[in-house]
Structure 1
Amino acid sequence: MGDGSVIPKFSNMKAFLGIVAGAGASYGIYKLFSGTSFRKNKKSAFNESNGPKLPHGGMVLQPGSLLAKVSGLDVVRVGESQAVPDDVESSDIISKSPESLEPQHLKMLLSLLQNTPNPSERVQILITLGNTAAFTVNQNLIYELGGIHIIAGFLSDPVPEVRVQTLNALNNLSMNLRNQEQLKVYLAKVLELIEMSPVNSDLQMAALRLLTNLSVTDNHHHLLKGSVTLLLSLLVVSNQVLQIQVLKVLVNLSSDPDMMDDIVQAQVRLTQLNACTGCRPK
């Protein structure tokens, strides 16, 4: 890149900061919530981790099944002990915390996910896989078992909660850069879910969290060029919580100088569209 392009790029950066400021109080709200400052290098990129979640209740599990044994496990931190339910017999499973589950256990969970016709069970399995994917060792195991493509296949599930938990599991898996190489092929589907889901829904939030992780590095920014107008539009129509998540994605994108022209041009298109709202043809 020649020296002559430096001044325009800085001008574009100033323009983008004006865009964010023009989005209203969202930026200030984000600063209040996060307590952190934006920096113009890639170290300031946002990433999202759901962290461990406990499985939802209300589902009857078959006694002795792998799902019953594994999904009931608490995700433990280093130094914490793992409670062992009295009715679980497979000590080789229940004595392990989720980060040390063996490949055959994850393989069986992935098989269950593919074969169960029950949406509630799919939700439960996805939550369990999402819990285990909070740990690097399991991120690698799921990758090696082809689990990313299996899980991502449920992005099109007809049940909204299944799609939400699919996004949550993929979100934890996306904390691994190698996994992102497989996840990038689903970016178009994630953007579709953001666009087609009800505004401020759990689906939109889960999809934006995944998008935040996938935009931490500039490896896949070129695949998001067409999404900037959508993201800017969400700043206008969404609530404060969703606006904060959108801003995280935009800040990640703005750390890439090659994205600044697209951000500025998207703002121009959006401004023109808003200016024509309600216009009638002569």
Structure 2
Amino acid sequence: MGDDNVVSRLGSLKALLGIVAGAGASYGVYKLVFSRAGDVNTKKSAKNLIVQPGSLMAKVMLLSLLQSSPNPEERRNVLVTLGNAAAFTVNQDLLREFGGLHIIAGFLSDPSPEIRVQTLNALNNLSMNICNQEQLKIYLPSVMQMIETSPVNSDLQLAALRLLTNLSVTDNHQHLMKNSITLLLSLLIVSNDIQVLKVLVNLSSNPDLMDDIVQAQVNKHVFYGLAA
């Protein structure tokens, strides 16, 4: 790869990290990008480049950086930046169009709990977009497994529940959560977080799931709490 390509790549990354839709990029990722620049002259040239704010290429490059980085802390910083950017509708659409949803969701199986938390946080923002939910629904089994196996009220479990809340807002994918109703009702007993209740309220709005909720074999006090 020639020097011009290196400079262009670094300049695009700088644009995204600094100004992508007002996301407030991580200084740690900024340092990461330029620590890989090579010699001092290349770094200086990259920093002096004028790059169009919100560059499409910058978003693609950040996704590429996420895939290629072998360092967990680097991946975490990139996920935080992408999660912040995903709070904006325009970026939710662009990340979907670039295949970013599946790239980000690929880190749901990362061995680092912190990486999984930041992945869930990014997907949570992305899931506020109805079109994105169509792609994210295939990851529901992984999300439910994390809810079931994570320590109660842990950051990982709560992040998974927040994502599940967004994915259960409409009845488009609620049927995919049918087999997890007993788990959610059981979790309601032992967890002190309101997020579980939010998911159950969303599911209870679906007439097709009411029988499953009522017939679930869980302590009767759960039902009294839901009815209150």
TM-score by length of 1: 0.63
Q: CA deviation at 1:132?
A: 0.9
| Separation in 1, partners of 2:62, 2:127 | 19
**1:112 corresponds to which residue?**
65
**2:218 corresponds to which residue?**
270
Structure 1 position 124 matched with structure 2 position 77: yes
Over aligned residue pairs, what C-alpha RMSD do you find? 2.5
2:213 match: secondary structure: helix
| Separation in 2, partners of 1:132, 1:192 | 27
**2:209 corresponds to which residue?**
259
Shift in CA distance, 116/64, structure 1 to aligned 2, threshold 3 Å? closer
Structure 1 position 141 matched with structure 2 position 94: yes
Asked if the contact 2:121–2:159 (Cα under 8 Å) also holds between the matched residues in 1, the reply is yes
1:249 to 199, 206, 209: 199
1:171-211 Cα distance to aligned partner (Å, 9 max, x none): 01101101000000000000001011111110011000000
1:68-91 Cα distance to aligned partner (Å, 9 max, x none): xxxxxxxxxxxxxxxxxxx95344
Shift in CA distance, 115/196, structure 1 to aligned 2, threshold 3 Å? same
**2:151 corresponds to which residue?**
198
Equivalent residues in 2 for 1:32-181, closer than 5 Å: 55=26, 61-63=32-34, 88-92=47-51, 96=53, 101-181=54-134
Name the % identity: 66
- For 1:249, the aligned partner's letter is V
Asked if the contact 1:64–1:88 (Cα under 8 Å) also holds between the matched residues in 2, the reply is no
- 1 or 2 for the larger relative contact order (CA 8 Å, sep ≥6)? 1
- For 2:174, the aligned partner's letter is H
1:1-37 Cα distance to aligned partner (Å, 9 max, x none): xxxxxxxxxxxxxxxxxxxxxxxxxxxxxxxxxxxxx
Structure 1 position 220 matched with structure 2 position 173: yes
**2:3 corresponds to which residue?**
none
| Separation in 2, partners of 1:238, 1:57 | 34
Gaps of 5+ in 1: 1-51, 67-86, 273-282
TM-score by length of 2: 0.77
Shift in CA distance, 102/110, structure 1 to aligned 2, threshold 3 Å? same
Q: CA deviation at 1:155?
A: 0.1
Aligned residues: 192
Moved over 6 A (4+): none
